[in-house]
Amino acid sequence: MRKKSIHPWPVRLTHWLNAVCMVCMFMSGWAIYNGSPLFAFKFPVELTVGGWLGGSLAWHFAFMWLLFINGLIYVLHGLISRHFKRDLLPISLPALKHDLTDALRFRLVHEKGVYNAVQRLMYWVVLAAGVLVVISGLAIWKPIQLQELVALLGGYDIARYVHFAAMAVIGAFVVVHLTLVMLVPKTLLPMITGGVRPIESEKNRP
Amino acid sequence: MIEPKKRAIQRIKLEPAQQLQLENVQRRKFLRGGLTVGAMAMLTGCNLQDGDQVDKVLWAMSRWNDRVQAWLFSGQKLAPTFTKAQMTTPFPFNAFYGQDDIPEVDLPNYSLAVSGLVRDKAPWTLEGLRKLPKRTDITRLICVEGWSAIGQWGGVPLKTFLEHIGADTTAKFVGFKCADRYYSSLDMPTALHPQTLLALDFCEVALPPEYGYPLRVRVPTKLGFKNPKHIVEIFVSNDNPGGYWEDQGYNWFSGI
C-alpha cells in the first residue's frame, strides 16, 4: 500500500506560495491604506513595501495575480481531490465545543494528520475571508466596471471597510496559525516534506 | 570545526535516505528563510524608480494590467450618478502642489490648442467650446489614494469635441497638456465614453481655479489623477503620451 502524506504536494506548494503572496499583499496593502487611512492609525513604514504609493500599488497589483492564480489552484485541488470534504468536514457543534474547551485549557492533543474541530472551523473562516478579500478587492479596484459587486457590498466606501476587515481576519488567523506552529513545532516539517499520514488514523476518523 | 559536527551526525546513525532528506529539509528551510526575511528587507526599497530587476518586473506587470483593464472596460457601461444632496461639500482640492501654486490662466487670451491626428488644428476659445452640445453628470471622483468625493461637472463630451475637430478616432491615444507642468492621456475607448467630458462647469458655475479653470477633463471611469486640470492642449496620437504620475509609476490605464 502506498504511504499517504499528511499534506499532498499541491497543498504544500500553494501554501508556501501563498505565504509569500500574503507577506507582499499585507505589506503593500498597509502602505496603500496609509495613503488614506480608514481609522485613526497608520501602519509603520517599516512594515510596508514599495517606498511610495505608486510603488506599493504596483506590488499589490502584481502579486494579486499570483495570489489569485495560486488560490484558484488550491481551491480546485481541494474540491477535486476532496481535500476539503475529507479533511475539513464535518464540524459538529459538540466536537467544536469539546475541542475548544480543551484548546483553551491547553489540553488539546495534536493528532497527526487530523484536523480538530477548532482547526477545521478556523480554516473555513480564513478561506471565507480569503474569498471576501478578493471580492472586495475587485470591487474597489473596478467600482464602475464591477458596480453590481460594489452595490452588493453596500457601496464603494463600505467595500473599502470590508476589504480591511477581511484583511484583519486573515491577519488574526496568521497570528494564531504561527503561534500554534511554534507551540507544536512538529507540524512544520510535514508542511515542507509532506510527512507520512499514520494509517490507523484513516479508520479512526470521526 | 567540521570534524566534531560530522561525528555528532554519525552518532545519531541516520539511514542514508534519512540523512539526505534531512539535508534537503535544512536546505529548503534555509532558502525559504532567505526568501522571506532577507529578501523582503532588500525588496522593500523597490519602488519603480531605481531601475533594478524587481522594478522591471513591476513595470511589466503594470503594462499587463493596462491590457487587462482595457479588456475589462466597457464603452457603454455608465458610472453611477448621484443626487445633489449626495454631493461632497466642500469638494476637496487636490493637485501635486498646494493651493497657493494654482497656475494663473489669462482668461481673455486663453485658447485651447489642438494637434496630432486631427483634421482641423485651429485653436478653440472658451466661447467656441460653450457653443457645443453639453452634458452634466453628478459622479464620484475616486483618488488613487483611496478617498472619494461626489461632485457635479458640466461640459462638452470629449467624443463630441473629437468629432468636431475631425480626430482620427481609430488612433490609440488622446493626450492633454496643462497650464501647470501636468500632463496625462487616455485610451481612445475611454475618450469616447459618453460620460468623458471637457468640463467647463463645476456645480453649475464656470470652473473655479481650484477645480481646474478654465477647462479640465472629467473622466468618471478613471482614477482622479487621470482627470487633468487647466488644459491648454489636446492631441491625438498613436504613441502613448504617458502622464505626470503615470511616468513615475502609477498604473497608466488606471480605470475603475
Q: Quote the minimal CA–CA distance from A122 to chain B in Å.
A: 24
Q: Quote the minimal CA–CA distance from A138 to chain B in Å.
A: 10
Q: Do B79 and A192 touch (CB under 8 A)?
A: no
User: CA B88 to CA B150: how far, in whole Å?
Assistant: 5
Q: Give the pLDDT confidence score for residue B218 in this predicted structure.
A: 98
Q: Quote the minimal CA–CA distance from B64 to chain A in Å.
A: 9
For the cut 60, the answer to whether the pLDDT of residue B68 exceeds it is yes
DSSP assigned state of B174? E
Distance of CA B135 to the CA centre of its chain: 24
CA nearest B137: which of B71, B83, B68?
A: B83
What's the rounded mean pLDDT across residues B194-212? 96
User: CA A23 to CA A100: how far, in whole Å?
Assistant: 29
pLDDT per residue as tens, chain A (206 positions): 456 778 888 889 999 999 999 999 999 999 999 999 999 999 999 999 999 999 999 999 999 999 999 999 999 998 998 878 877 788 888 887 888 788 777 777 777 777 888 888 888 999 999 999 999 999 999 999 999 999 999 999 999 999 999 999 999 999 999 998 898 888 888 888 888 877 544 444 44
User: CA A26 to CA B140: how far, in whole Å?
Assistant: 27
User: CA B155 to CA B134: how far, in whole Å?
Assistant: 5
What percent of chain B has a predicted confidence (pLDDT) above 90? 78
CATH architecture of structural domain B53-248:
Alpha-Beta Complex (3.90)
Band (pLDDT 50/70/90 cuts) for residue B177 is: very high
Whether residue A126 is contained in a domain is answered as yes
Whether residue A171 is contained in a domain is answered as yes
**Closest residue in A to B147 (Cα–Cα):** A36
CB of A143 within 8 Å of a chain B CB? The answer is: yes
Whether residue A66 is contained in a domain is answered as no
**Closest residue in B to A20 (Cα–Cα):** B36
Nearest to A192 among B25, B49, B255 (CB): B25
Q: Give the pLDDT confidence score for residue A93 in this predicted structure.
A: 81
Q: Domain-by-domain residue ranges, chain B?
A: 2-43, 53-248
Q: Do B77 and A36 touch (CB under 8 A)?
A: no
Q: Give the pLDDT confidence score for residue B5 in this predicted structure.
A: 44
Q: Which residues of A touch B45 (CB under 8 A)?
A: 51
Q: Mean pLDDT for chain B?
A: 88
Q: Give the pLDDT confidence score for residue B24 in this predicted structure.
A: 66
Whether residue A63 is contained in a domain is answered as no
Whether residue A77 is contained in a domain is answered as no
Length of chain B: 256
Band (pLDDT 50/70/90 cuts) for residue B58 is: very high
Assess contact for B184 and B226: CB atoms under 8 A: yes
For the cut 50, the answer to whether the pLDDT of residue B222 exceeds it is yes
CA nearest B211: which of B128, B145, B154, B133?
A: B154
Q: Do B77 and A20 touch (CB under 8 A)?
A: no
Q: Can you give the residue range of the structural domain that contains A181? A: 114-197
Q: Which residues of B touch A160 (CB under 8 A)?
A: 146
Query: Of A55-69, A153-167, B44-58, B194-208, which gets the smallest average pLDDT?
Result: B44-58
**φ and ψ at A94, to 5 degrees?**
-60, -40
Amino acid letter, residue A188: L
User: CA B201 to CA B153: how far, in whole Å?
Assistant: 6
- Count of domains forming chain A: 1
Please report the number of interchain residue pairs, chain A to chain B, with beta-carbon separation below 8 angstroms: 107
Whether residue A144 is contained in a domain is answered as yes
Q: Do A55 and B65 touch (CB under 8 A)?
A: no
Assess contact for B146 and A35: CB atoms under 8 A: yes
Assess contact for B221 and B239: CB atoms under 8 A: no
Q: Give the pLDDT confidence score for residue B7 in this predicted structure.
A: 44
Whether residue A50 is contained in a domain is answered as no
User: CA A88 to CA A84: how far, in whole Å?
Assistant: 5
Q: Give the pLDDT confidence score for residue A196 in this predicted structure.
A: 81
Q: Do B25 and A189 touch (CB under 8 A)?
A: yes
Q: Which H or E run contains B157?
A: strand B148-157
Residue labelled with grid coordinates 482547526: A119
Q: Do A145 and B77 touch (CB under 8 A)?
A: yes
Query: Of A184-188, B49-53, B79-83, B131-135, which gets the smallest average pLDDT?
Result: B49-53
What percent of chain B has a predicted confidence (pLDDT) above 70? 82
Q: Are strands B231-237 and B113-116 parallel, antiparallel or unpaired?
A: parallel
Whether residue A45 is contained in a domain is answered as no
DSSP assigned state of A145? T
CB of A204 within 8 Å of a chain B CB? The answer is: no
Task: Give the tens place of pLDDT for each residue, B119-153.
Answer: 999 999 999 999 999 999 999 999 999 999 999 99
Q: Give the pLDDT confidence score for residue B25 in this predicted structure.
A: 65
CA distances (Å), origin B55, targets A54, A201, B60, B62, B91: 12, 49, 8, 10, 35
Which alpha helices (DSSP H) does B73-203 contain, by range? Answer: 126-130, 158-164, 188-191
Residues with Cβ within 8 Å of B19's Cβ and at least 6 positions away in sequence, in order, are B9
Length of chain A: 206
Q: Give the pLDDT confidence score for residue B4 in this predicted structure.
A: 43
Q: Give the pLDDT confidence score for residue B49 in this predicted structure.
A: 75
3-state helix/strand/coil string of A74-138 = HHHHHHHCCHHHHHHCCCCHHHHHHHHHHHHCCCCCCCCCCCCHHHHHHHHHHHHHHHHHHHHHH
CB of A26 within 8 Å of a chain B CB? The answer is: no
Assess contact for B221 and B195: CB atoms under 8 A: yes
Q: Do A20 and B35 touch (CB under 8 A)?
A: yes
pTM: 0.85
Amino acid letter, residue A194: G
Residue B185: half-sphere exposure toward Cβ, Cα within 13 Å: 21
Q: Give the pLDDT confidence score for residue A201 in this predicted structure.
A: 46
Say yes or no: ipTM exceeds 0.85: yes
For the cut 80, the answer to whether the pLDDT of residue B75 exceeds it is yes
Q: Give the pLDDT confidence score for residue B2 in this predicted structure.
A: 42
